[in-house]
Amino acid sequence: MFYDYFETGLIGTLTLVADHQGLRHIAFATSRTPLTVHPDWRRDAAIFTEAKTQLRAYFKGERRYFDLPLAPEGTVFQKAVWQALSTIPYGSVTSYKWVAEQVGNPRAVRAVGAANGKNPLPIVVPCHRVIGSNGTLTGFGGGLGVKERLLALEKDAWQSAHTPAERFTDVAWALKS
């Protein structure tokens, strides 16, 4: 396993973890349960060159999606939830109910919340785009302040790149969800 650190300039330092299959973890320094770097892991910046390039562009508001090899570990249900999270458009938010519907189990809202909370690849798999059905921010591994900053970053970058008509369509989609 390999690891390195990435300074975001917005939300602090992230710990990146990967192996030859792909990116396995992105961990926040602000997490309530910090990632432990194991003694047998090797720090290797070269492994993370592309991930850092894409993350840097994201934090500059220039990247809307990621194209990286990912290798998260989880249950079949968790992986289905993480796949559904990956379809939430940049600059948008949706509800846990919408995610539950996407995985074919509309009543599994709490299970979706638990799977969302176990997402090992936040930002790249955008779990921060899921909010409470009443529009409030809900738990986030990096803390609600980090979630707020990520959503603000996306909102600002997205609005500057879209017309008012496009923004209206997106707001209608988010409210429907």
Query: Which residues are the active-site residues?
Result: 127
Cα 70 from Cα 125, distance rounded (Å): 10
The backbone torsions φ and ψ at residue 119, rounded to the nearest 5 degrees and listed phi first, read: -55, 115
Rounded to whole angstroms, what are the CA distances from 35 to 14, 26, 171?
10, 9, 35
Q: How many residues does the chain have?
A: 177
Rg (CA), the chain: 16
